[in-house]
Amino acid sequence: MRIVVSEFMDERAVAQLGAGHDVLYDPGLVDDAARLRAEAAGADALVVRSRTQVRGELLAALARCRVVGRLGVGLDNIDLAGCAARGMQVFPATGANAASVAEYVVATAMLLLRGAYGATRQVAAGGWPREALGQGREIGGKTLGIVGFGAIGQLSATFARALGMQVLAHDALLAADDAAYARGGVARVGLDELLRRADVVSLHLPLRESTRGLFGAARLAAMKPGAVLINTARGGIVDEAALAAALRSGRLGGAALDVFDVEPLPVAPHFEGCPNLLLTPHIAGVTAESNERVSFMVAAKVLEALR
């Protein structure tokens, strides 16, 4: 059978797919829409990451496809109802990149709270900003607020508690008595209370109509003064311009964005000169180890489905 892989994948997992099937592996295929549609027409399985939009013209082109493998967990780039209507199964790599994202959350929280790691050029040039950088904050004793308490949020809570943080969580879709809260030593609270109390707010929500623009100017203003925001979920959840304004005003103490409303992020003048801002290109869940786990998990699911 024909398997098309339109974005990067561990090449050993690609070889596993190719052991019994005809595989087209081209990580740049996502950027050539016409060729992607042409190749999709003959595909029995399609493997994608977050940038390939399995909807509209591409979905229509998948005339004989039976399986879509998602190298990650978010599914907002896939028309799930459209796939189901065509009899196509969709397999995400649930849990395979949770550790990578949780490590990113804790590491970035430490960087943003401490605020001391951007001085290399100044120190090497003979500067000595010891007084200016001596007011950083420790992570121990701070409160982490997790919005969206799925597998990644739960593991982030475990890592944070190991560093001495208190953890609050809000998840509108998780039952109030779900064992995950007690198991993780996490207090379940409403979103307003979480924002009022948390020194660090980390987002782990899917992008839906109900979450698009959830963190706009009003909600950012409701956060604890000096708090930091980390978004590894989906870019459309946070109003980028409002976030930049909150950082410039000093209302927020820092932010890390790994995801953006448009990816790749175009030139973004609203971010120029923002203090204590970290921008990364949607790689929180991508490490050498997680890429291996994600790739082999998806390869196994695709092969099983094709069998």
Which string of DSSP letters, residue by residue, matches 245-307? HHHHHTSSSEEEES--SSSS----GGGTT-TTEEE-SS-TT--HHHHHHHHHHHHHHHHHHH-
Measured distance CA(166)–CA(180) in Å, rounded:
15
What is the set of active-site residues? 234, 263, 282
Token reading at 21: 């099937």
Is-contact 169 181, C-beta < 8 A? yes
> Which H, E and C letters describe 36-63, residue by residue?
HHHHHCCCCEEEECCCCCECHHHHHHCC
Measured distance CA(116)–CA(118) in Å, rounded:
6
Residue 134 DSSP SS3: coil
Is-contact 262 238, C-beta < 8 A? no
Residue type, 149: F
> Which H, E and C letters describe 56-116, residue by residue?
HHHHHHCCCCCEEEECCCCCCCECHHHHHHCCCEEEECCCCCHHHHHHHHHHHHHHHHHCC
